[in-house]
Copies of this chain bind each other. A is one copy, B any other.
Amino acid sequence: MTTTKLPPLLQDDPPTLADRAYLSLRDAIIEGTLAPGMKLSERGLAAMLGVSPQPVREALRRLEGEGMAETRSRSGTYVAELSVDRLLEMGRIRSALEGVAAGIAARRRTPVDIAALRARLTAVRSATASGDERRLAAANAQLHETLHAIAGNALLIRSLQAVNAYYHISTRRILVHKSEVSASLAEHTAIVEAVIAGNADEAEALMRAHTGRSVDVAAVELNR
């Protein structure tokens, strides 16, 4: 019997109905299908999704915790109103959390993580060259998610997933300039290098600046 610590044998649990209901509702809110102010009835949504009200209720409570829904007892749950100011605030929160995540990732990264990061960065680079915006967005998202996974902090990951929902709402409303794309690649490269080097403070500062720029761009575009 070897005493070396084995990697976790048990994989993640399969997503529950509550998880899937959450994702459905969240995406519908991001997409605008569920517009601000709309009523989110436990029973009504349950019928639409073909499940019982129980998983729906759980999903709604989670959305509530993320600020995307508001509940008044015995009256109803509604899609939260979202002003431009709020949206910008979410961007600032995202920036701060992404920065912290990068810093933590720089402290915890293992050789395996480093290999994964290099792979993600390569994917981003080739996606940038391809000019396919969808593909680039996906590659960028994967790079960020890889960093979150390396940080491996459950609270941080949850919070980032929440603010990313708002980030998606933002990117749906504004258009990204071409010049941003190449700058983004350079920044991503620098961030990954800092993480690989284990330079936590630099990784955090770079990531914060990188994501902070999105907020500034959004501030200009959204207030037009």
Contacts and interface: CB of A to CB of B under 8 A. Distances in A.
Interface string A81-94: 00001100110110
Given A13-B73, A58-B61, A80-B154, A103 B92 contact: yes
A90 B71 CA distance: 29
B67 A153 contact: yes
B162 A89 contact: no
B93 A153 contact: yes
Number of copies: 2
A160 B164 CA distance: 17
Interface string A149-167: 0010111101100110010
Contacts of A85: 107-108
Contact of A97 (B66, B93, B107): B93
Contact of A158 (B13, B16, B66): B66
B104 A89 contact: yes
B158 A86 contact: no
B13 A67 contact: no
A100 interface: yes
- 7 closest A-B pairs by beta carbon, nearest first, are A67-B154, A67-B155, A13-B73, A96-B96, A96-B100, A65-B158, A159-B159
